[in-house]
Structure 1
Amino acid sequence: MLTRERMYQAIIEKDSTFEGTFFTAVKTTGIFCRPTCTARKPKPENVEFVSTAKEAILKGYRPCKVCRPLEKSGETPEHIRTLLEALSADPSKKFRDEALLEMGLEPSAIRRWFLKNHGITFHAYQRMFRLNSAFRHLRDGAPVTGTAFESGYDSLSGFADSFKSVFGVAPSNSKSRNVINAIRLETPLGTMFACAADEGVCLLEFSDRKMLETELKDIARLHNAEIIPGDNPHFRQLRSELDEYFEGNRKVFTVPLFTPGTPFQQEVWQLLQTVPYGTTSTYKRQANTLGNPSAIRAVARANGMNRISIIVPCHRIISEDGQLTGYGGGVHRKQWLLDFEKRNS
């Protein structure tokens, strides 16, 4: 359980892993904030911690104008969404700085947002998006020349060089490589990172998970693929079902999943998906169900290797003595998810 001392330490450190698990209500100002608020921190005796924004409002607190606790943390601004929608509608379109200025947007601000949220500049994001679109056209049998010019390139050599720098092969050899698309998703518990292949969603993790980089390398290797920003048909369903889950209106997910692994890992992950919403199981119970009572540690390791949080609900597995044990997104998030599901079951 989260203690008052641990929550106060989290707001001092502006720890994003606690995003959505509690709110800080300041008695002296009458406002409430998210854990990562950059406003001046109050003294311990002047705060109380609440579980939800609704609870804070019912107690008479107003939302902070600095951290805006009623909005999703890191939510994509409207002007960024407009840019992304325009790019999705026409991947060949190039938004140079002059075009951004004509739209009333500051290029440096756009650059900072993409660097912070995607790790690359907006111009680099556009290039990756165009190449992702070109890759799919080539895989569908489109000719290289037509694809190059339809993707906004002025020359075949420029297209070939860019394509090879990303995929490691010439456009004519594109069928030897695969693409995994990646996006950010905002949830009440903080930003998540999702990846999807043609077969389905292959990764859903909190963006601050320490093992995320290793997981990305693993799925790139397992799929013989490059991971690049871009849209995927499965993302729309994923967004919709996650929103319904966090609204308390969805208990079972139907979005297609693609989870390559060893036969034993596959068994464990499939068994995880049978643990009912609002309940918990144990590593020992899982091992017994699999007909291998001595495999408790192996089951625990396979749970830890699960790359699809929430949908493959490893948060519902606890130790035999009732302890929550580890969770890639943080034990406090695990506790929040279990409490949330129990309230809504």
Structure 2
Amino acid sequence: MLFDLPDHDTLYEALLARDTRFNGQVYVCVASTGVFCRLTCPARKPRKENCTFLGTVGECLEAGYRSCKRCHPLEPMAMADPAIATLLAALDERPDYRWRESDIERMGLDLSTVRRSFKRQFGMTFLEMARQRRLRDGFETLAGGGAVIDGQLDAGFESASAFRAAFLKLLGKAPGKLSTDPLLFADWVQTPLGDMVSVTSASQLHLLEFIDRKALPKELERLNVHAKGRLGIGQTEPAAQIKEELDAFFSGSSSEFQTPLAYHGSEFSGAVWDALRKIPAGTTRSYSDIAVSVGRPSAVRAVARANGANQIALVVPCHRVIGADGSMTGYGGGLWRKQKLLEIERQYLSEKARENHHVTD
């Protein structure tokens, strides 16, 4: 992103006005349709609460949105590079096909050129774009007790080494190194804001993070050490419970999370996380508010560090903390997710509270 995005209200007004100033710099992702568009799209305008604004096409794709067939937001990239146009068209025709490098070569395209072009335009390679969902298929095969080779094939990976590398990047352990007698179990969680990983014991939730969070590998490494190397994959009662509660949260039926939690941090951090859980859905607090609530009004920076160290996203709602001036602050899952979560949670406010409370976009 080459510039800071304006606030949500400004961008929504630009969308309504079909403002051309933001072409190529901002895209609107529409939750009700699963599509992302240019702000100048001629289609009927979505409701404000269904809109999330992102700065790059890559972010939109990573968030699980597909390109609009009316305003064609991928067209400038495709027009700039015929190889991109060819592959995007092929992907549209066969979205479920397990694309491989050999497929690209058979189309008469140079692998290194295609890789550079997609990285430059989308922040990911074509194969990463096409295989993003496949890793989930392999994960679920292993979680169900399948062999590593079956997980590799289900994930659409040509080589065992590539499959191992993908798992190593995600979980910090190759499939063959995962414990066959785990104390902690990793599980894949699908949400409307992107896939997540949960880590549970037989009785508690230890971690819940978006898979693209940069801190995830180190968090998983620490949990593996905590479990004395016995980190594996599979489902537990807490894993099933958190999936049900996340489904209820995103569907608008409940903002309550009752899954038992296991904190990994200092006593002070635990106090901060407890304070975060007391913030009602649809409302926000500042770091100084939290510092006062835990009896340490001068410990604002320490509160911010504890907030950033939280590894149980959504359940411990660090996304509800904003700057003292009402501005959005950093979020490990991405500011666009933080904005969207706050928008989603407005539905949990009473009508009177919604009128009286302002959530910063």
TM-score, length of structure 2 as denominator length: 0.58
- 2:167 corresponds to 1:118: yes
Higher RCO (Cα < 8 Å, 6 or more apart): 1
1:226 paired to 2:230: yes
Greater than 4 Å deviation, 4+ residue runs = 8-13, 39-43, 64-68, 73-84, 93-97, 105-117
Q: CA deviation at 1:225?
A: 4.2
184, 193, 209: which is aligned to 1:189? Answer: 193
Q: Could you list the per-position Cα deviations for residues 179-200 of structure 1 after superposition, in whole angstroms to 9, with x for gaps in the alignment?
A: 3211222211112121112341
State whether structure 2 residue 244 is matched by structure 1 residue 240.
Answer: yes
Q: Distance in 1 between matches of 2:336 and 2:95?
A: 21
TM-score, with structure 1 as normaliser: 0.61
Cα deviation, 1:19-71, whole Å, max 9, x if unaligned, reads 15x76534356xxx8xxx8x87478xxxxxxxxxxxxxxxxxxxx76669xxx
Equivalent residue in structure 1 for 2:324, among 310, 320, 323:
320
- After TM superposition, give the deviation of residue 236 of structure 1 in Å: 1.1
Q: Which runs of 5+ in 1 are unaligned?
A: 44-63, 137-178
Aligned pairs, number: 255
Change (3 A) 1:301 1:240: same
Amino acid at match of 2:276: L
| Paired amino acid for 2:289 | R
**Aligned match of 1:27 in 70, 76, 87?**
70
Residue number in structure 2 paired with 1:6: 26
CA distance in 2, matches of 1:294, 1:223: 35
Matches within 5 A, 1:145-164: none
Provide closer, same or farther for how the CA distance between residues 280 and 67 of structure 1 changes in structure 2, counting only shifts above 3 A. farther
Q: Secondary structure at the match of 1:15?
A: helix
Indicate yes or no: 2:261 matched with 1:257. yes
The corresponding residue for 2:270 is: 266
- Aligned-residue offset at 1:256: 1.5
Aligned mates of 2:61, 2:71 — CA distance in 1: 26
> Residues of 2 paired with 1:341 and 1:264: CA distance?
27
Shift in CA distance, 66/10, structure 1 to aligned 2, threshold 3 Å: farther
SS state of the match for residue 340, structure 1?
helix
Q: Distance in 1 between matches of 2:71 and 2:60?
A: 24
Aligned AA (2:223): I
Once residues 24 and 186 of structure 1 are traced to their aligned partners in structure 2, the CA distance between those partners, rounded to angstroms, is 20
- Check whether the contact 1:19–1:190 (CA below 8 A) recurs between aligned residues: yes
Q: How far is the alpha carbon of 1:344 from its aligned partner?
A: 4.3
Q: Matched residues in 2 for 1:213 and 1:17: separation?
A: 22
Instruction: Tell me the amino acid that sits aligned with residue 59 of structure 2.
Output: D
| Unpaired runs of at least 5, structure 2 | 1-6, 12-21, 28-37, 39-52, 80-91, 97-130, 350-361
Give the conservation status (yes or no) of the 8 Å contact 2:137–2:155. no
Structure ID, larger Rg: 1
The answer as to whether partners of 2:198 and 2:209 remain within 8 angstroms in 1 is: yes
Work out whether 1:15 is the aligned partner of 2:59: yes
2:308 maps to: 304
CA RMSD of aligned residues (A): 4.0
- Residue 237 of structure 1 and its aligned partner are, at CA, apart by 1.1
CA 1:262/1:332 → structure 2, altered by over 3 Å: closer, same or farther? same
Distance 2:339 2:200 in 1: 27
| Paired AA for residue 167 in structure 2 | H
Change (3 A) 1:118 1:325: same
Displacement of 1:281: 1.1
Between the aligned partners of 1:78 and 1:228, the Cα distance in structure 2 is 15
Equivalent residues in 2 for 1:168-207, closer than 5 Å: 179-207=183-211
Secondary structure of 1:299's aligned partner: helix
Gap change, CA 1:115 and 1:243, over 3 Å in 2: farther
Amino acid at match of 1:234: P
2:287–2:303 contact (8 Å) kept in structure 1: yes
Q: CA–CA distance in 2 between the matches of 1:113 and 1:260?
A: 32
When residues 117 and 67 of structure 1 are mapped into structure 2, their CA distance, relative to the original with a 3 A threshold, is farther
Cα distance in 1 between the residues matched to 2:334 and 2:148: 39
Q: Deviations over 1:72-98 (max 9, x none)?
A: x955799869845xx73xx4x75867x
Q: Say if 2:255 and 2:348, in contact at 8 Å, map to a contact too.
A: no
Instruction: Give the Cα separation in 1 of the matches to 2:332 and 2:61.
Output: 11
SS at match of 2:195: strand
2:26–2:56: 8 Å Cα contact kept in structure 1? no
**What is the aligned counterpart of 1:343 among 329, 332, 347?**
347
In the alignment, the residues of structure 2 paired with residue 288 and residue 298 of structure 1 have an alpha-carbon distance, to the nearest angstrom, of: 12
